[in-house]
Structure 1
């Protein structure tokens, strides 16, 4: 009883609201601690993809950097972080992520699905929204409760530790990560609308993602909602996003979608039969030929 009361008190004391959505959640990790973990992971990720990161003056890197710069004013206090953009030459991987502290990684395999800069903005705003909501800190904070739950399941039902972990993941961890994904979709949609990217592009993106990946695991076994459910949720958020889009006067803004297509075509100008993506000429004034981040 004492342990339960103490644990309940700690839980209630550390409840806070997620920005924008106002969801109540437990979090004991400070933004500074969250960023420190991001720094460690960033160095490891750079080593992991060494030799496959496109240079700063490559059209893909320039394109991703432009979109990130345009989204930053909508991130609140995160615009002052040390942002770095990296594009990994991996045509088979349809992925992108943003580490705490503003370290952006985009894999070339997702760019054709993005279709244009609005689609790319939908991907990047979602990934940046995880940082706005401090989802990494939330996951670390919940880790202790998941471990405790797994131990209790193992003792009460007299099952093995691995089975207890599986049950805890199925009923606690996975639903929470799916909640975070939908929340990042919501926050990211508002961010891209505020940055004058067409919010409808986010719904279109998930339609293309569904077409490109028709086979996916059942949602209850996945860390992410299904592509269909994500698109359906985004459609529900669209009126709010369109209102923000109009309030910002974005209808009168000329969004340069053609630059995405130009960058994609430039990246494909290589020797026939080669998978190497050519580099554009180095920018004047560059002091380091090995500099492979945008900022």
Structure 2
């Protein structure tokens, strides 16, 4: 198993982080196709039309980030789901989903760029394939252990593998996407300072605090804010170096969105 693991190590783009990758492009495409079908089956009746102002809002922000990341070659789709859930995600191949419950939290283009920059960074960095690879590797270990040990030990082994490998790797991917996403939004001429406000609002909603972070797939909002402040000079320089003097109003408010005085109770899962 050790030889197999080492043979499938590679460097992640941009960060150069060493990671385990053992799934094919076909595997990722099949997973993405299945996920897309499941999402459309569950939420298709809640999708806003492509002509809706919210869908146009998402498309406008995402397109700038996609261009900054040099990913125009993908077959991008933009879907907005009418639901109080505060969530957004991108599945492999460029399918973007945003729930309307997220809009009161992001507030404007810069805020939405914070979230979409993060999600599009996952696509750019190949994190979906990485997570699939680690999941398959742990399943193989679990299968081998189950052959030689009783089911009780096998169950504990799976738990320790998830706590020791899967969850830490997931948090590394999330932090990497935070960093790259911040640079993408800045390069796309959005205000990176908006990211601080977004994550501060997330922190008010977050039920889990830093002491339980090791049990989460995502870093705590407080930890994210601290890192965002550390990365901010780099992002500000990235924006200054970009051609951002075209009169864009990157902080324009969501068109037609009513003022909302209370945030949704659903915890985001970026």
User: TM-score, normalization: structure 2?
Assistant: 0.87
**Residue 102 (structure 1) aligned with residue 86 (structure 2):** no
Asked whether the 8 Å contact 1:31–1:134 carries over to 2, the reply is: no
Equivalent residues in 2 for 1:22-41, closer than 5 Å: 22-41=16-35
Q: Cα offset for 1:156?
A: 7.3
Check 1:130–1:35 CA distance in 2 against 1; reply closer, same or farther (3 A cut). same
Structure-2 separation of matches of 1:128 and 1:158:
40
User: Which deviates more, 157-166 or 36-45?
Assistant: 157-166
RMSD (Å) for aligned C-alpha atoms: 2.3
Check 1:34–1:75 CA distance in 2 against 1; reply closer, same or farther (3 A cut). farther
Asked whether the 8 Å contact 1:150–1:167 carries over to 2, the reply is: no
Matching residue of 1:63: 57
User: Deviation digits for residues 210-261 of structure 1, max 9, x if unmatched?
Assistant: 12x1422611111111110011111111111111111114366432423x33
Matching residue of 1:50: 44
Q: Cα offset for 1:36?
A: 3.1
Q: Cα offset for 1:168?
A: 1.3
Structure-2 separation of matches of 1:10 and 1:17:
16
For structure 2, list consecutive stretches of 5 or more residues without a partner in the other structure: 261-270
**Residue 75 (structure 1) aligned with residue 65 (structure 2):** no
Matching residue of 2:117: 125
Matching residue of 1:278: none
Matching residue of 1:274: none
Matching residue of 2:265: none
Asked whether the 8 Å contact 1:85–1:104 carries over to 2, the reply is: yes
Equivalent residues in 2 for 1:210-229, closer than 5 Å: 210-211=203-204, 213-216=205-208, 218-229=212-223
Match of 2:180 among 187, 195, 200: 187
Matching residue of 1:285: none
Equivalenced residue count is 257
Larger Rg: 1
Asked whether the 8 Å contact 2:50–2:56 carries over to 1, the reply is: yes
Structure-1 separation of matches of 2:140 and 2:41:
34
User: Deviation digits for residues 114-139 of structure 1, max 9, x if unmatched?
Assistant: 01110001101101111111111111
Q: Cα offset for 1:152?
A: 6.8
User: Which deviates more, 157-166 or 23-32?
Assistant: 157-166
